[in-house]
Amino acid sequence: MKFYFPDSQDQVDPSFDFDTEERSRLRLRHREDLYAHELFQRPPFDGVLVSKAVLDAGRYSIAQKHRMLRVGVREFFRISDPNLLTMGDCGAFTYVREERPPFSVEEVVEYYQTMGFDFGMSVDHIIFGYEPSDHDIPEDWRFRHELTLSLAKQFLDQHRKTKSRFTPIGVAQGWSPSSYADAVEQLQAMGYDYIALGGMIGLKTPDILSCLKMVHPILQSGVRMHILGITRIESVQLFADFGVSSIDSTSPLRQAFKDMKDNYYAPDRTYTALRVPQVEANPQLVRNIKAGKINQQEARKLEQHCLACLKQFDRGTCGLEETLDSLLTYETLYDDRRTFANEYRDTLQDEPWKKCPCDVCGALGIHVILFRGAERNRRRGFHNLHVFYNKLQQRKAAAKGLFDLEAHEALSR
């Protein structure tokens, strides 16, 4: 199973100094900041997924957009490894509230071809909902289901007409196991040998597995299947058993700074990052300072004391209790509703960053687990990608070993 990482403009500045928290004044973000595949000796994913909607939504400047269209996806993202694949989609989440997708089939095919993608997904319209009984289905769900299939047929026809070089992927949208199975069956009849299941991000794992269980028997030999926006590492082997050959998600990255507690991946568990927000960047601290409830200079003093304790702890010159006390004392200034005392103690006791062999942890030390600013948080997210990808590879290797063993036993019999 291959893992694709969706582009979300996540880069890190190699000039950033973690002690002074300053960066080069001559920094040119796109030219000099590093993508995850550049930060590691070996990329922590098999490919990059880029959504047309993201490109068109203003996330990139006009100059960047024109350059991407001019030089193509591989040069723009500095992908020199021929084994690192590129995949394009339309980004259906961004136009979910519209009656129809804002792109024409001809426009999307031309976009994929111009950008030089290895794979390109058909135009789709996402269905937000799940009803396994297939009773009382909203008319809009049925409309989107049929529209997505109609657009997939037009997409494949246009791909053939223009003799485009990218591999076309037909997108299936559904609301139940039977509706997904119907879509997959129709896409195969059209001639697709690579199919993506969309709209599953909001589904619970058992519901996803129910859909895959119904799709699997009708999946023709040689047809690959992708699940959009899903990882679920605990279930990837089941996904593979049901015919899934690729997945994509930003979850490992986002958990680094979006999740309340599961911020740092270790091989067998997760840890809570140590929160040390900047005085001038934390909304609660700023409000309290403006209201006169907190003295700004005192807050800065506690912030710096906390950082100093953490650096000394990492070197072994400051004890756990003193370091924990500095974290919790500072915590009272910006969060009086809850405390992470137990989680912080757990993180400090285990020191997981010292056990991790990845390029990020080796370079940053304790900074990788500090919840503080984009430069640390993104690097922790990149670390999470590395751990997730390694887990995926290990599960693939274990599954292959079991398959080889079963094959050997069969031959022996």
Residues 244-261 have pLDDT tens digits of 999 999 999 999 999 999
Tell me the average pLDDT across 298-322. 97
How far is residue 187's CA from residue 181's CA, in Å, rounded to a whole number? 10
pLDDT of residue 405: 39
Q: Which one, of 280, 253, 263, 279, lies nearest residue 370 by Cα?
A: 263
**Gap between the Cα atoms of 371 and 251, Å rounded:** 17
Q: What is the pLDDT of residue 118?
A: 98
Q: pLDDT tens, 92-113?
A: 999 999 999 999 999 999 999 9
* Domain boundary assignment for the chain: 46-249, 258-387
Task: Please write the tens of the pLDDT for every residue from 52-96.
Answer: 988 887 778 888 889 999 999 999 999 999 999 999 999 999 999
- For domain 46-249, the question of CATH label 3.20.20.105 is answered with yes
Q: What is the mean pLDDT of residues 26-45?
A: 90
Residue 287 has pLDDT above 50, yes or no: yes
How far apart are alpha carbons 413 and 409 in whole angstroms?
Answer: 6
248 is catalytic: yes
pLDDT for 332-349, tens place per residue? Answer: 999 888 899 999 999 999
Q: Which of 10, 46, 89, 182 is catalytic?
A: 89
**Hey, what amino acid is at 151?**
L
Residue 344: CB atoms within 10 Å: 21
pLDDT at 25: 85
Task: Write down the catalytic residue from 7, 33, 182, 248.
Answer: 248
CA distance 168 to 164: 9
